[in-house]
Structure 1
Amino acid sequence: MHSQNVASDREGFLPKAISVLRQGYSRQNFLRDLGSGATVGIVALPLAMAFAIASGTTPEKGLFTAIVAGFLISALGGSRYQIGGPTGAFVVIIFNIISRHGFDGLLLTTIMAGIILIIFGVLRLGTLITFIPYPVTTGFTAGIALLIFSSQINDFLGMRLDVIPPDFIGKWQAYFGHAGAIDPVTAAAALLTLGIIIGVRQFVPRIPAPVAAVAAVSVLAAACGAPVETIGSRFGGIPQTLPSFALPDFSWAQVRILLPDALTVALLAGIESLLSCVVADGMTGSRHNANTELVAQGTANIASALFGGIPATGAIARTATNIRSGAFSPVSGMIHSAVLVLFVLLLAPAAGYIPLACLAAVLVVVAWDMSEIHKFMRLLRAPKPDVLVMCLTFGLTVAVDLTVAVNVGVVLASLLFMQRMSKVTRIRESDGEPAAETWAEEDPVSDVPQGVRIYEIDGPFFFGVADRFKSVLDIMEKSPAVFILRLRKVPTVDSTAINALELLHARCKANGTVLLLSGLRKAPLQELQRLGTLDIIGRRNIMPDINAALERARAITGTHDRTHRQPDRHSSSGRTASSLS
């Protein structure tokens, strides 16, 4: 991660396409990109239409998104192999936005999400987005997969329900209540498509399984005159025109209302695109620029909405297909968009014959792949806090809303992490007296003068530890003349911990005790100085190591000099008390 940040700082926001082409681009490289781009374009064709239909809009919207956003993500992005377009992760979110605010509301949301992504990239927050815990991403991804599967039952079984409740429970109640409406011919077409996809994946993996299955079943259904619902019968086919530029109507009141949805779309787009970049890096050994990728994702989403498209992000499966097909550079992703342009201009009428049951079967497979059930089941054996976070995120995604699920999941994971970290930090007394926590000392302190107490904190000193620190001090029966707090093993402090130190100083001062801090590292020392705590405690009471602290304690208590003790091994070498005063 550090090396990636260094690379990002050095390259700035230079698109990977430019940096790669500067290194040289031969005819052979172009042929590699041409082959992989054509392959990915064919793979993206049914997926783009299926995602759009599942999202509650028309199939050409998905194609327009793959064309416009896919081209810009490749041209401007920070990954060498990224393929962008509509993805399954957005299906549920888009459907809910359209149902509440209409398609114009979705366009405005997508533009706002694009602006947010650009801001994330400009502020160099690319690496922060990846800090969302793995149990949270696993939980909401599995939840989205279940929702996608649930949304396809109507078309998969040919039930032709006019009104389907948007919520998960309502959907399944409607399905079970209309079980008699299942159309055997439609269900057979869907099952045949599903079987072909599974078979091609198993025995002929080089062939794009969704394309082969959809094409085969579409031809069979048309030849037999099967009475199944198609893209043409429901949507009137796909227009043979490219998307046109149009600004959506909006008001500031709409902006305020849609801001939470825009933030959700931006976060999900950022997370999925950067995860896709990480997958690509792992497959190829390349390195992506996270901040450049976010800026490109933002630009692509704005452009997608301005040309009538839906939200887009990096597509992990299509990116992996691009790499396996031999892609050399981002030119492959641009060619993938060009292939889709050719389809719209030359073959759009043929799409009208595609049965909706075929696309439903494709999305059932997408939902299965998204669920990553093996990872979900494996995480059930993880520590209980991780299991709780994953299951809660999954349940909230399915039953409530993805935004709520992610927010609650991240907050809960953070709280549980802080609880764990607070237990990692240990507090003990170093002079042989019992304390709340004790362990074998590396360098035990002996011959401590009468009236001197020594405590040590080992680990991060933050708000999760501050309260426990106070409780440890409460067990002291009487106030010593000198209280030495060793901080040699404290790598960082926060404002709550600093406040606890100031309260300790006030308490010691009220009881006539001198507080000495020993072995402060550079980072905590700078924080104490920045907040003025050094002046409150007194700079002459900040000791570089335990030797200096004990010498000052003897001077305060009036005891004679003793043998020097071993210095704090973790404190900054060469620092003296006089240098701090």
Structure 2
Amino acid sequence: MRFYGRFEGYNTNSFRKDLLSGTIVGIVAIPLGMAFAIAAGVKPEYGIYTTIIAGILISLFGGSKYQIGGPTGAFIPILFAIVMQYGYENLLIAGFLAGVILVVLGLCKLGAVITYIPKPVTIGFTSGIAVIIFIGQIANFFGLRDIEKHEDFYANIKELLAHLSTTNGYSVLTASICLFTLIIAPKYMSKIPASLVGIVVSSLIAYVCYEGQVATIASAFGSIPNTLPSFHIPELSWERIRMLLPAAFAIALLGAIESLLSAVVADGMTGSRHNSNRELVGQGIANMITPLFGGIAATGAIARTATNIKNGAVSPLSGIIHGVIVLLVLVALAPLASNIPLSSMAPILMLVAWNMSERKEFMHIVQTKTSDSVILVVTFGLTVLTDLTVAVEVGLVLAVIIFVKRMGEGLIVVKVLPDRTIKHEKVKAHMVSKEHDCPQIHIYTIEGPLFFGDATVFDKSIRSSLLKDSKILLLRMGKVPFMDTTGEAYFSSIIKDFVKTGRVALISSIQPQPLSMIKHNKLDEVIGEEHFFDHTGMAISHALQQLDNDKCRGCKHFAFRECTYLSMGQTAEKKAY
């Protein structure tokens, strides 16, 4: 790993900026870390451990100078589902395996591939996650009692409705105070994190005015220890690994997407450029080590990264400082944090859900009423009603199917002939008609990629119009940028069937990639090296010399200028097209 480039020109003034930004982000991260852990179904201190360890490691080994790592809201549904289905110990193993996957992705230089996930898919599952987070905090907001949490969305809604009668007025008041503070604090105290102000104000009011009337972190999970997390290696077995691999892949995919999106946001704010592959390796290292100390999955946090930049961060040291600050607060103030009401945490997560919902982008794509709208709605619905893994898989498959359909529709295969009314007699499709079509020479213009999605269209378009007495097939391929193995197979089949009966195939203006595919399968030898031309005019001139002049005698099609002479039984004059 190369570190010196990230600290080039670093000085005392740079350190002061990093110290300030790291301290502010560390204060912001404390309530968020606890809230995310609680929402994911684990103890709040595990969120703090994640913030400390993953935050430091991501800054040390990641590919962005400004990235702040830690637990995020995006992980809540998937981590909660793993805890519900497999338990906390297996959650740690899934996180560790996800780290291994991320490291492998980074070392294989697949960082750029993640960015190709279609926007409707990412917005769909992000909005779905936001809905799940928001709904999941209703119980704490209203102080509902005896709530049993389920993986199924419908079951959770039924559970909430069945227990609305247990609403605690004090919890509603506490949550409302926190929410109100979250809204107005940025207007009057812009230098202090709103989430911290909201928690402090609402917790103090609850403690002073109606102590013991609302559920707190201590009453629900026990007191937060003010000690460092202990090192523990989860018990691994092949059976556990096989069982948890799907969950690990889901965590890795989501972590990769979130971290790289955050890095892109940081690039946009600073004019810098992150290293996507190094970022994945850094995220992987953090997610491999954090579970060994009881921490949950971590990734790049967009809001905290933006806060880091806005407060003047200049290097990864700000992220390291942010982790150290959280550690110091844990040691010094853990007993006080234990008295935070759960209803004070709920509005913070609800606001996180609101901010991550991508509501404007969501509505914009829906209103386009295109295939992207379908992908978006399907991904969103499956995220809410089933789980993130299914949603992303179906969304991606649907996006690929629609993409292939679009690309297939984009392939153009048309029969053409020279238009004598324009300069250089360029070939045009409108020149071909029943009365004006050379029986011996067939010229086709092909436009678009020739791949598995449209190879059959290409095959049918040419075979259906080839006449039995055709002698020469000329394919204009200047606008075919790409050919895959399926496209090459159909292309090869047409050429071989044509050539094996003694007829001639000509190729003009072929691009490098399709040419390499043809040469790889030695189809160029079947066609003949002399039958490849840089320009269509040269190919037509060659084709005219290969005509059966006896068949031309008396022909009334006059497809080419030379046909006037050939029809009368004379030799064609050479004409440069």
Shift of residue 98 of structure 1? 1.1
1:515: Cα distance to partner?
A: 2.1
Question: CA–CA distance in 2 between the matches of 1:234 and 1:468?
Answer: 64
1:102-501 aligned at under 5 Å gives the runs 102-226=87-211, 227-431=213-417, 443-444=426-427, 451-476=440-465, 478-479=467-468, 480-501=470-491
Give the letter aligned to residue 529 of structure 2: R
Distance in 2 (CA, whole Å) between partners of 1:392 and 1:273 is 24
Q: 5+ unaligned residues in a row in structure 1: which ranges?
A: 1-12, 434-439, 567-581
Larger Rg: 2
What amino acid sits opposite 1:401 in the alignment?
Answer: D
Q: 1:383 to 1:424 in 2, by over 3 A?
A: farther
2:41 aligns with one of 47, 56, 76: 56
- 1:420-445 per-position Cα deviation (integer Å, ceiling 9, x unaligned): 22222211111279xxxxxx999227
* Cα distance between partner residues in 2 of 1:185 and 1:473: 76
For residues 56 and 413 of structure 1, the distance between their equivalents in structure 2, rounded to whole angstroms, comes to 33
Checking the alignment, whether the CA contact within 8 Å between 1:448 and 1:550 is kept in structure 2 is no
Match of 1:74 among 32, 35, 59: 59
The aligned residue for residue 86 of structure 1 is 71
Deviations 1:245-297 (A, max 9, x none): 21100110111111111111111111100000000010111111111111000
Question: Residue 75 of structure 1 contacts residue 330 of structure 1 at CA under 8 Å; is this kept in 2?
Answer: yes
Instruction: Please give the per-residue CA displacement for 1:210-249, whole angstroms capped at 9, x wherever unaligned.
Output: 1000011111111113300001111111101111221100
Distance 1:350 1:456 in 2: 76
Instruction: Please report how far the alpha carbon of residue 56 of structure 1 lies from its aligned counterpart in structure 2 after TM superposition.
Output: 0.5
Q: Residues 57-103 of structure 1, C-alpha deviation per residue, up to 9 Å, x if partnerless?
A: 00000000000000010111111110000000000110111111111
Tell me the distance in 2 between the aligned counterparts of 1:375 and 1:441: 49
Aligned equivalents of 2:386 and 2:418: distance in 1?
A: 55
What is the distance in 1 between the residues matched to 2:575 and 2:369?
46
For residue 517 of structure 2, the aligned residue among 523, 527, 542 is 527
Q: Give the letter aligned to residue 267 of structure 2.
A: D
Aligned residue for 1:310, secondary structure, equals coil
What is the aligned partner in structure 2 of residue 14 from structure 1? Answer: 2
Are 2:14 and 1:29 equivalent residues in the alignment? yes
Q: 1:355: how far off?
A: 0.2
1:4 matched to which residue of 2?
A: none
Matched, 1:516 2:499: no
SS in 1 for 2:545: helix
TM-aligned CA distance change 1:463 to 1:383, over 3 Å: farther
Distance 1:536 1:511, change over 3 A: closer
Root mean square deviation, CA, Å = 2.0
Give the deviation of 1:558 after TM superposition. 4.5
User: How far did residue 539 of structure 1 move?
Assistant: 3.3
Q: CA deviation at 1:169?
A: 0.8
Q: SS of 2:368's equivalent?
A: coil
Contact (CA 8 Å) 1:33, 1:326: kept in 2 or not? Answer: yes
In structure 2, the residue corresponding to 1:556 is in which secondary structure? coil
Distance 2:475 2:230 in 1: 69
Question: Displacement, 1:521?
Answer: 1.3
Corresponding letter in the other structure for 1:493: M
- 3-state SS of 1:557 partner: coil
Q: Give the AA of the match of 1:547.
A: G
> Structure 2: how far apart are the matches of 1:557 and 1:40?
79
Structure 1 residue 203, shift from structure 2 partner: 4.2
1:555 equivalenced with 2:545 (yes/no): yes
Alpha-carbon contact 1:150-1:168 (below 8 Å) kept = no
Q: Comparing 285-294 with 499-508, which one deviates more in the overlay?
A: 499-508
Match of 1:571 in 2: none
Question: Residue type of the partner of 2:265?
Answer: V
**TM-superposed deviation, 1:370:** 1.0
Q: Identity of paired residues, percent?
A: 42
Q: Secondary structure at the match of 2:446?
A: strand
**Partner residue, 2:534:** 544
Can you give the 5+ residue segments of structure 2 that lack an aligned partner in the other structure?
A: 550-570
Q: Which one is further off, 411-420 or 33-42? A: 411-420
Q: Deviations over 1:174-213 (max 9, x none)?
A: 1111211111111111111111101113443332111000
- The whole-number CA distance in structure 1 between the counterparts of 2:523 and 2:174 is 74
Q: Are the counterparts in 1 of residues 214 and 341 from structure 2 also a CA contact under 8 Å?
A: yes
Residue 448 (structure 1) shift: 8.6
Are the counterparts in 2 of residues 449 and 554 from structure 1 also a CA contact under 8 Å?
no
Residue 135 of structure 1 contacts residue 389 of structure 1 at CA under 8 Å; is this kept in 2? yes
**8 A contact 2:145–2:163 mirrored in 1:** no
Q: 1:117 Cα deviation (Å)?
A: 0.5
Cα distance between partner residues in 1 of 2:455 and 2:401:
15
Structure 1 residues 32 and 441: alpha-carbon distance in aligned structure 2, compared to 1, 3 A threshold? farther
Question: Is the CA contact 1:546–1:565 (under 8 Å) kept in the aligned structure 2?
Answer: no
Structure 1 residue 565, shift from structure 2 partner: 3.5
Return the alpha-carbon distance in structure 1 between the equivalents of residues 296 and 409 of structure 2. Answer: 46
Query: Residues of 1 paired with 2:325 and 2:79: CA distance?
Result: 25
Question: Take 1:387 and 1:427, find their aligned partners in 2: how far apart are those partners?
Answer: 30
Q: What's the CA shift for 1:535?
A: 2.9
TM superposition shift of 1:401: 1.1
Relative distance call for 1:564 and 1:522 in structure 2 (3 A) is farther
> Is the 8 Å Cα contact of residues 193 and 358 (structure 1) preserved in structure 2?
yes
Aligned residues: 545
1:516 alignment partner AA: L
Q: Offset at 1:14?
A: 2.6
Q: 1:418 to 1:205 in 2, by over 3 A?
A: farther
Can you list the C-alpha shifts for 1:148-182, whole angstroms capped at 9, x where unaligned? 11111111111122422221111111111121111
State the AA in 2 paired with 1:472.
Answer: S
Q: Is the 8 A contact 2:54 2:69 kept in 1?
A: yes
Q: Using the alignment, how far apart are the partners of 1:491 and 1:326 within structure 2?
A: 46
Residues 338-375 of structure 1: per-residue CA shift (max 9 Å, x gap): 11010111110000110001111111111111112112
Q: Distance in 1 between matches of 2:382 and 2:487?
A: 35
Greater shift after overlay, 165-174 or 541-550?
541-550
SS at match of 1:301: helix
Quick one: distance in 2 between partners of 1:310 and 1:565? 72
Q: Which amino acid aligns with 2:464?
A: I
Q: Name the residue aligned to 1:8.
A: none
Q: Determine whether 1:99 maps to 2:89.
A: no
